[in-house]
Structure 1
Amino acid sequence: MVTIIAGTNRPNSNTLKVAKYYQNKLAEKGLQTNLLDLQDLPNNFIAEDLYGKKSEKFENIQGMVTNTSKFLFVIPEYNGSYPGVLKTFIDACAFPESFYDKKACLVGIASGKYGNIRGIEHFNGVCAYLHLHVMPLRIHISYIKNELNENGQLYLEDTVKFTAQQIDKFLAY
């Protein structure tokens, strides 16, 4: 099973739009995926789903994560790194069965010019600790507001080209 994780809980996020773009492109190539939007985390998961205890809603999410063999993370830049909700989600997931010796692909997005390079590197450190094997080709999409059309689709030629290359490599990974 492949799961795409939209790495923020911000409503109407560009992160979710990019995650859906990847999901659609993978489907066009014959791969059906799950999409985990961190908006779907339980409202009180910090109080109820950390440190061994789990709510029923989080148990369903945990089941999907446990059964996933490859992840594709779309991660926005928050304060020069990645969102705290993504780290808290990772912390709430069972260790080692959630991520250990599984595969991941990373996509960084930002409203600025660096496409969350620093945040992707920070997250890569967490992946290394978890023994989550990250595909070498990472995409950093800068100025995300200019990259998406009115339908929430990436449309600029270079970005479409590089995301297509990443998708092909992810399928083979």
Structure 2
Amino acid sequence: MITIISGTNRPASNTLKVAKYYQKQLTEKGLETKLLNLQDLPATLIDTDLYGKRSAEFQKIQDLVSETSKFLFIIPEYNGSFPGVLKTFIDACAFPESFFDKKACLVGISSGKYGNIRGIEHFNGVCAYLHLNIMPLRLHISAIKTELDENDQLFKEDTLKFVNQQVDKFIVY
């Protein structure tokens, strides 16, 4: 199973819109997907689910992570890197079994012109430590506010071409 992770807990985020777009693309190609919106993390995550503790609320999320064989991370740029809530989520997951020797695909997005290149590289370092195998083709979508139409769909020809290419490679990865 593929789990798509919307890498922020910001309400009404472009990250979630892009995650839903990828989910639609994968579903249309016949793949089973789940969407994990980090807005759904327990509000008490820091108190209840770090350092060996586990709440019933987070256990449902942990079960989803444990059942997942491939992850697709949509990661926005926050202060030149990736969101702290994404790292906190990773830290709350059971180590090493949550991500060890599984596969992942990375998509960076930003309002600026670089598509979160630096944040994706930072996150790649975390993934290497976790033994989470990253697909070499990473996508960086810049100026995200201009990439989504009024229906929250990607529409620019070049972006669609590269997203489709990435999705096709991820399916066989």
Structure 2 equivalent of residue 81 of structure 1 = 81
Q: What RMSD in Å do the two structures reach over aligned CA positions?
A: 0.4
**AA of the residue aligned to 1:89:** F
Count of aligned residue pairs for this structure pair:
173
Q: Distance in 2 between matches of 1:57 and 1:155?
A: 37
Where 2:82 maps in the other structure, the secondary structure is coil
What is the TM-score when the length of structure 1 is the normalising length? 0.99
Structure 1: give runs of 5+ residues left out of the alignment. none
Does 1:151 pair with 2:151? yes
Distance 2:85 2:139 in 1: 21
Aligned to 1:96: 96
1:125 aligns with 2:125: yes
Q: Does 2:47 correspond to 1:47?
A: yes
Distance 2:130 2:52 in 1: 17
2:62 aligned residue: 62
Are 1:15 and 2:15 matched, yes or no? yes
Q: How far off is 1:48 after superposition?
A: 0.5
- CA drift at 1:32: 1.9
Distance 1:127 1:98 in 2: 11
1:76-123 C-alpha deviation (Å, 9 max, x unpaired) = 000000000000000000011100000000000000000000000000
Task: State the distance in 2 between where 1:2 and 1:133 align.
Answer: 14
What TM-score do the two structures reach when normalised by structure 2? 0.99
CA distance in 2, matches of 1:151, 1:44: 33
Distance 1:21 1:140 in 2: 15
1:104 alignment partner, SS class: strand
Q: What residue number does 1:169 align with?
A: 169
Runs (4+) of structure 1 moved beyond 6 Å? none
Distance 1:77 1:12 in 2: 16
Pairwise mapping of residues 26-45 of structure 1 onto structure 2 (< 5 A)? 26-45=26-45
Residue 74 of structure 1 aligns to a residue whose secondary structure is strand
Unpaired stretches in structure 2, ≥5 consecutive residues = none
Identity over aligned residues, as a percent?
76
**In 2, Cα distance between equivalents of 1:34 and 1:57:** 17
